[in-house]
Structure 1
């Protein structure tokens, strides 16, 4: 789940689910896979690129802060452990791509859960997925507004020579972001626009690379490595705050590594032979190795540059400030990335609500009637009143919640805690146990359940740390009023 989710668009380009077999009758198996869909062409390299693009996102900007809470020993160690857990459970999930008896493919995460665990857990999985998607749209609204504020503040400081304190309110920027999302959310099938994947990938690597480069430059300028073995010092924070912030840091790290929700979709682009599972395991190993090295470098260089004062977001005003034009480019890249990524995450929620409403109210003109509007110079735009009202309400709701709780690190930590255990660990472990028919109370069963339990405890601790952080911040923050 980190979180460059425009990868979903890339995956949809590999095949068309509605495939006309008559076009390829003479081609036989050369053009058609065993399920009647166009021949898959994905390799270890393409699957690895999808994973890397999916993981690397705005979560990388909080890793320096996370390491600052844990220190030089526990910080990198926690990142390595989360990387290993993600790799191991991803290999379990990859093994669930095909039914072991029938060989039938599972095209999505939910299909794999349905095939191995049944309908009840599919509903549970769907609830967690939708809740996670909803939370991420809030997190993206906060992150985008912070970056827009950072651009404004950076230019303000530069123009005033540092004399103006440049107090800026969150609210206008969140409203501006929400307004753009209201407009974009009215575009039917927005998630099929292929350019979104390219733009998102370029933007995420742009701001992540700038953050890493600035960290290296800052360490060279300081001529020393800041930080300590145990992290932020007592005195700067109380013992209780240190504990809760350490838990929250684990949630931030978990958020940066989450991508399991689209693993099956990535695997469904891979050609066979060799088996899709074998290819996916290699791709997972390669991509997580690359990502982990990049993450550890970004987190460690940021901590080495700022020490205990490492900011929650490296590219805001409390992080790097010069050269201001490069900071502006990085923050602009974040905003551009998140404008599109918001839609990618919101579209599954839109589709679920609209499909359910249409099924329950098939005779309602408000729900089902499409109005064609001619746009000069373009083709017709299809307006649906229910879509207009419902999607607008959704964006307004996420924007208002963001205005009430504009705390980047707290939200990132909570989202990491919310999604990592069920989607990255619990469901893959349970599906693997069911598929391989691992006997209850056997050594292997006990080991897998112990892993799941340990991660659950970490996730609950991370969630508690994030909630505690929100409560602490609300003591000094006044929604809709406070300027920063």
Structure 2
């Protein structure tokens, strides 16, 4: 299988500085996590900024089509998550295999160095993509709050306010991302999820009031031409595929892990569907790519938007840490490299400058790297490991998911790039 004695190549930790790994759970460090802790970690790993783009996506796809797509993606995501668990369990049951800690380790166990390189590459792209979306959200929200009038929105020195806010974030992000280890900042991610859920409750409450007062014209089905776009955003919304294996390792009762994971995914899916549908039903064709900019400029709305910006700002270093971990392991033998870190932060900022629309970028990341990580790799690894003993039906299903994932990835990436660069007629 390719996963044997060479633990240095398969491992993910650096040799000199205790850099936080991409597979480090945020709640609990022992191997005895309760079901509640596991469920909490599922929420922390999966819930992300993608939910804020769902109302806009439902506007493009139609609320019924959007909800059905969301639940379909959730079900497929859960199934592929469990494929990773089953594949890891099978490999570890074989005497020649070492402990498999992360997604990258599993890729090495199945396909050797090529498998690990492929997973590492997708982790770099996905994590950096999440940070780009955070910076787009922050700049767009600040521009909405402080540059709402035509005179305030005028360009200065050839740059719009949104771009100036990205440049304003850059020095602080360079400093935060220079910290060698960010394990103590993990509680910020927990706090960010609490704030985000609170923001979702506030937005849904305002949506309900608006729907009761004024019911805009909405559509249930927006046409098949936005199918791939919708799939991309929905796939992006279910972050956390890289946390599935470490969370299972930390679970006290591993027999119930699948049930706990299913419960978490079910609750999150319901929350997402309600949030996306209510946002579109409230604002109709006026729904913006970041739904929080639809809720007005009152005190509560401003606090919610600023709270989200602050939390996403401090979440960026946490999301970038897996990128640094992979690059420093491969480029500097695990040694801390300020140049690598600053270069990646500059790349993230540059991409954020070039892509103004939040939901469009979510679709791009979801359609490209998230589909590969979430659907293609789990099914491919499961097929390769179980090809000699699984039933024909399961092997065919693995192959079908791989093919569908590739089709969705290629088509969705093209659709998203078309939206971003405005090549549509």
TM-score range for the pair, normalised by the shorter chain length: 0.7 to 0.9
Partner of 1:353: 327
Distance in 2 between residues matched to 1:359 and 1:406, nearest whole Å: 36
* 1:219-298 superposed matches below 5 A: 219-222=211-214, 224=215, 226-231=217-222, 244-271=225-252, 274=253, 276=254, 278-298=255-275
Distance in 2 between residues matched to 1:189 and 1:401, nearest whole Å: 25
Listed one character per residue, the Cα deviations across residues 342-362 of structure 1 (whole Å, up to 9, x for unaligned) are 1112112223333444339xx
Distance 1:352 1:257, change over 3 A: closer
Alpha-carbon shift at residue 286 of structure 1 (Å) = 0.3
Which has the larger displacement, 304-313 or 80-89? 304-313
Equivalent residues of 1:150, 1:331 under 8 A apart? no
**Structure 1 or 2: more helix by fraction:** 2
Structure 1 stretches lacking a partner, 5+ long: 1-5, 16-38, 158-162, 232-241, 361-367, 369-383, 476-484
Distance 1:392 1:126, change over 3 A: closer
Which has the larger displacement, 439-448 or 427-436? 439-448
Distance in 2 between residues matched to 1:393 and 1:145, nearest whole Å: 20
Listed one character per residue, the Cα deviations across residues 121-159 of structure 1 (whole Å, up to 9, x for unaligned) are 111111111122222222221111112222214xx66xx
Partner of 1:307: 284
Residue 170 of structure 1 aligns to a residue whose secondary structure is: helix
Residue 427 of structure 1 aligns to a residue whose secondary structure is: helix
How many residues matched? 398
Corresponding position: 1:119 with 2:113: yes
Equivalent residues of 2:143, 2:153 under 8 A apart? no
Q: CA RMSD in A?
A: 2.8
Structure 2 stretches lacking a partner, 5+ long: 1-19, 155-159
Equivalent residues of 1:9, 1:192 under 8 A apart? no
Alpha-carbon shift at residue 165 of structure 1 (Å) = 7.2
* 1:207-218 superposed matches below 5 A: 207-218=199-210
Distance in 2 between residues matched to 1:199 and 1:254, nearest whole Å: 23
Equivalent residues of 2:123, 2:323 under 8 A apart? no
Listed one character per residue, the Cα deviations across residues 272-330 of structure 1 (whole Å, up to 9, x for unaligned) are xx4x2x322111110011001101100110111122332211012xx2215x2222112
Find the structure with the greater CA-based Rg: 1
Partner of 1:189: 181
Partner of 2:8: none
Distance 1:150 1:431, change over 3 A: same
